[in-house]
């Protein structure tokens, strides 16, 4: 049974592949490909589904065993290069000896086809002017005049005496013929040998004028072969890209006469380039085609290969490319050449060895230069200085980083941002790390980089991605971090790679962990650190959904004696503090604003900046502000987390987020206060749930009240973010 199911799936996908090539239509195998003795090839076809959809000009009608395009124009030949040979009627006007006119005007509409430039507009007759004109989107006209007083000599020349012709320079999709006699007297004077004037289109070199046969009745020929141009679609090859219908072993070319494109088999291949397997290798050694035939002087030396051929001589002979013939080798010259070649190779090998040693020495010097340029000497001095080292960081080599990232292979890229590219690295002990490679080096910032490495290496906070080491032997420093396996908070909130949504408990805990981390960086680190790029994409989650703050590439160290620092504005739109953006002064309140936006994302599940929202609500802060003002906050809270049990908590978190995202930095709380409020909210919620779950035990608590830290009782947990800050675990790591 399983084997039958497997065969069914193979057959299904095989059929699907014949139907779709590069995302485009392909004809079924049972399509009719003959009309009379003419072969009809895709993109043309007779029945629906057998021709390229979207253009009825590719639909062929088979009438009386003759193919017709646009229902009434007979086709005599199909061309894969974007041309059709069809038969089009002539137009004529005739006068009797009394000057009475009989006219047959012709007007043609070609729809999505157009006249090729390889046609001639031809007039046969005497003392007449014929015009070819089109009107509408493209005004165009051309014509010629034929004059004669007596029958021209039968020389076959169409030179203006009895016959004239002119080029059709514009691709036309509709046209009409018009006649204008020079004078009635002129017409009657030539009536005996030229009673009619004929105008028609004809393919180049398909009509030779004969005055004796053509002036009287144009040999009774009413239709002439004409070339029409066609193409696929209306886009260029660059615009369609990989979605063109060109099959295997073929290439796409822009149409030279109209919009759209045509397909062509590669050199050495032949067939229908519009079919998935239409272009097949031509065996130049056996084909009778003059186009693909080989040019080896002796057919026995011809060897076919995919896309071409070669002329292979037997041992002791060589190929003369001028005559493509085999000639006997001159062994004397061959030995001289062989000895010269060996000597040259020995010299080349010696030079290569010297160059290799010089290159190795140069690379060593360059690595040492980069090491010193990136502050390696300063870092080693601090690592190996007197007394216990204050820096717990490992220095990796350039070779080790290349091996860990498989030569910085693109498949190892975890992410790319404004600060650089992060690669997945595998160290010799098989431990997995994240290696961050900066985009540009800045020699003037070496001291700051070393201080940043020193500070980050001392941070051992449980919610900060741990810095393991760095590499200074490259043009730009590399930082090595611990590898976090469960993606970013942004992916969980807005991506599709995770099947399970974050619950409210998860979101509240993540917000508390991030707030505590930022409070630690601002208040408890040896030198205060402003992250400067707090966003959900820089918050990683481990296998237990524990938050890890990452990407300190934009961070700045704030001296203890300064409250803010003037810097070039840097950050991510949607999270960027408006006051910092305006003044360029960075302080800890800038991180508070960004964290407030993260809280809003946790509440709503919406992106910080979304251009699909209304004009006044593209920014999530504005979105929340308008919703709060109009008392419809519940409409924008993520429906996956909101219920009656946590409504009060959500409202409290929304209030905290609103305070964090105030425009003026001085009106925002500090991160330590924000963290304390969120922690107090969780404690209060936990006690409330415990009381609801164990009501009997709650009755034994001093009259149902909770004893406060001062020995007083209270029916609820009171909290003041300024006067009574809760004690949090934000000043210690793990």
Same domain, 431 and 567: no
Asked if residue 6 is part of any domain, the answer here is no
Asked if residue 712 is part of any domain, the answer here is no
Asked if residue 571 is part of any domain, the answer here is yes
Q: What is the pLDDT of residue 523?
A: 85
pTM of the predicted model, to two decimals?
0.47
Phi, psi for residue 167 in degrees, rounded to 5: -75, 155
Same domain, 610 and 622: yes
CATH value at residue 423: 3.30.200.20
pLDDT at residue 727 above 50?
Answer: no
Same domain, 73 and 188: no
Of 214, 229, 281, 533, which one is the catalytic site residue?
Answer: 533
- Domain boundary at 428, 453, 482, which? 482
Over pLDDT 70: what percentage of the chain? 79
Same domain, 55 and 107: no
pLDDT at residue 707 above 50?
Answer: no
**DSSP conformation letters of 80-111:** TTTEEEEEEE-EEEEE-TT--EEEE--EEE-T
The answer to whether the beta carbons of residues 405 and 418 sit under 8 Å apart is: no
- State pLDDT tens for residues 610-650: 888 877 778 989 989 888 888 888 888 888 888 877 888 89
Asked if residue 40 is part of any domain, the answer here is yes
Asked if residue 696 is part of any domain, the answer here is no
Asked if residue 327 is part of any domain, the answer here is no
Same domain, 589 and 671: yes
Same domain, 644 and 530: yes
Same domain, 177 and 211: yes
Asked if residue 298 is part of any domain, the answer here is no
- State pLDDT tens for residues 504-537: 999 999 999 999 999 998 887 777 888 888 999 8
The answer to whether the beta carbons of residues 401 and 425 sit under 8 Å apart is: yes
Range of the domain at 398: 373-482
Same domain, 510 and 578: yes
- Domain boundary at 218, 248, 280, which? 280
- Structural domain tally of the chain? 4
409 given a catalytic annotation: no
Give residue 365's Cα distance to chain centre: 41
- State pLDDT tens for residues 652-694: 999 999 999 999 989 999 999 999 999 988 888 777 665 655 5
Same domain, 466 and 545: no
Q: What is the pLDDT of residue 387?
A: 41
Asked if residue 458 is part of any domain, the answer here is yes
Distance between CA atoms of 244 and 604, rounded to whole angstroms?
Answer: 42
Distance between CA atoms of 79 and 229, rounded to whole angstroms?
Answer: 10
Same domain, 503 and 565: yes
Over pLDDT 90: what percentage of the chain? 29
- Domain boundary at 662, 680, 698, which? 680
Same domain, 134 and 45: no
The answer to whether the beta carbons of residues 67 and 110 sit under 8 Å apart is: no
Same domain, 109 and 201: yes
The answer to whether the beta carbons of residues 656 and 489 sit under 8 Å apart is: no
């Amino acid at each position: 049974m399983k084997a039958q199911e497997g065969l069914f799936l193979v057959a299904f996908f095989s059929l699907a592949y014949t139907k779709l090539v590069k995302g485009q239509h392909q004809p079924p195998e049972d399509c009719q490909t003959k009309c009379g003795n003419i072969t009809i090839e895709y993109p043309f076809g007779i029945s629906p589904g057998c021709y390229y959809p979207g253009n009825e000009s590719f639909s062929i009608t088979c009438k009386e065993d003759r193919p017709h395009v646009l229902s009434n124009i007979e086709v005599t030949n199909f061309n894969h290069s974007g041309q059709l040979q069809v038969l089009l009627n002539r137009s004529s006007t005739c006068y009797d000896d009394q000057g009475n006119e009989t006219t047959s005007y012709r007007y043609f509409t070609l729809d999505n086809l157009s006249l090729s430039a390889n046609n001639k507009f031809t007039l046969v007759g005497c003392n007449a002017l014929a015009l070819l004109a089109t009107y509408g989107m493209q005004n165009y006209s051309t014509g010629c005049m034929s004059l004669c007083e007596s029958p021209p000599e039968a020389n076959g020349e169409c030179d203006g005496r009895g016959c004239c012709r002119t080029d059709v320079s514009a691709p036309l999709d509709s046209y009409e013929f018009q006649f204008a006699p020079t004078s009635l007297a002129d017409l009657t004077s030539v009536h005996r040998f030229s009673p009619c004037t004929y105008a028609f289109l004809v393919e180049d070199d398909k009509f030779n004028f004969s005055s004796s046969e053509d002036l009287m009745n144009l040999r009774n020929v009413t239709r002439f072969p004409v070339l029409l141009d066609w193409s696929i679609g209306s886009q260029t090859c660059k615009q369609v890209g990989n979605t063109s219908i060109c099959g295997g072993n073929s290439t796409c070319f822009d149409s030279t006469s109209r919009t759209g494109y045509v397909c062509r088999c590669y050199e050495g291949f032949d067939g229908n380039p519009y079919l998935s397997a239409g272009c097949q290798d031509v065996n130049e050694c056996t084909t009778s085609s003059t186009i693909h035939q080989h040019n080896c002087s002796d057919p026995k030396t011809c060897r076919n290969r995919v896309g071409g051929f070669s002329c292979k001589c037997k041992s002791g002979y060589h190929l003369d490319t001028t005559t493509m013939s085999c000639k006997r080798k001159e062994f004397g010259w061959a030995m001289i050449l062989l000895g010269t070649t060996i000597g040259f190779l020995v010299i080349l090998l010696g030079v290569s060895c010297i160059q290799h040693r010089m290159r190795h020495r140069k690379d060593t010097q360059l690595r040492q230069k980069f090491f010193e340029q990136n502050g390696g000497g300063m870092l080693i001095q601090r690592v190996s200085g007197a007394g216990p080292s204050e820096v717990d960081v490992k220095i990796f080599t350039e070779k080790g980083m290349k091996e860990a990232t498989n030569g910085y292979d693109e498949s190892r890229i975890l992410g790319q941002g404004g600060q650089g590219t992060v690669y997945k690295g595998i160290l010799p002990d098989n431990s997995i790390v994240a290696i961050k490679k900066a985009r540009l080096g800045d020699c003037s910032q070496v001291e700051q980089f070393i201080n940043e490495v020193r500070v980050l290496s001392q941070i051992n906070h449980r919610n900060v991605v741990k810095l393991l080491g760095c590499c200074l032997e490259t043009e730009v420093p590399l930082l090595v971090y611990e590898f976090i396996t469960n993606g970013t908070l942004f992916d969980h909130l807005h991506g599709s790679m995770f099947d399970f949504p974050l619950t409210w408990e998860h979101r509240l805990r993540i917000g508390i962990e991030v707030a505590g981390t930022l409070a630690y960086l601002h208040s408890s680190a040896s030198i205060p650190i402003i992250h400067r790029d707090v966003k959900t994409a820089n918050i990683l989650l481990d296998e237990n959904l524990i938050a890890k703050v990452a990407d300190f590439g934009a961070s700045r160290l704030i001296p203890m004696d300064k409250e803010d620092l003037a810097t070039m504005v840097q950050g991510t739109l949607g999270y960027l503090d408006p006051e910092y953006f305006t003044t360029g002064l960075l302080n800890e309140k800038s991180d508070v604003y960004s964290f407030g936006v993260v809280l809003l994302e946790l509440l709503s599940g919406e992106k910080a900046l979304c251009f699909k929202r209304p004009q006044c609500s593209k920014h999530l802060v504005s979105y929340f502000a308008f919703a709060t003002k109009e008392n419809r906050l519940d409409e924008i809270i993520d429906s996956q987390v909101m219920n009656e049990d946590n409504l009060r908590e959500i409202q409290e978190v929304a209030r905290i987020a609103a305070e964090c995202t105030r425009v003026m930095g001085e009106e925002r709380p500090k991160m330590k206060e924000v963290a304390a409020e969120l922690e107090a909210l969780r404690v209060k919620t936990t006690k409330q749930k415990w009381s609801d779950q164990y009501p009997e035990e709650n009755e034994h608590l001093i009259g149902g009240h909770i004893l406060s830290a001062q020995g007083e009782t209270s029916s609820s947990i009171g909290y003041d973010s300024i006067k009574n800050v809760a004690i949090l675990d934000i000043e210690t790591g793990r």
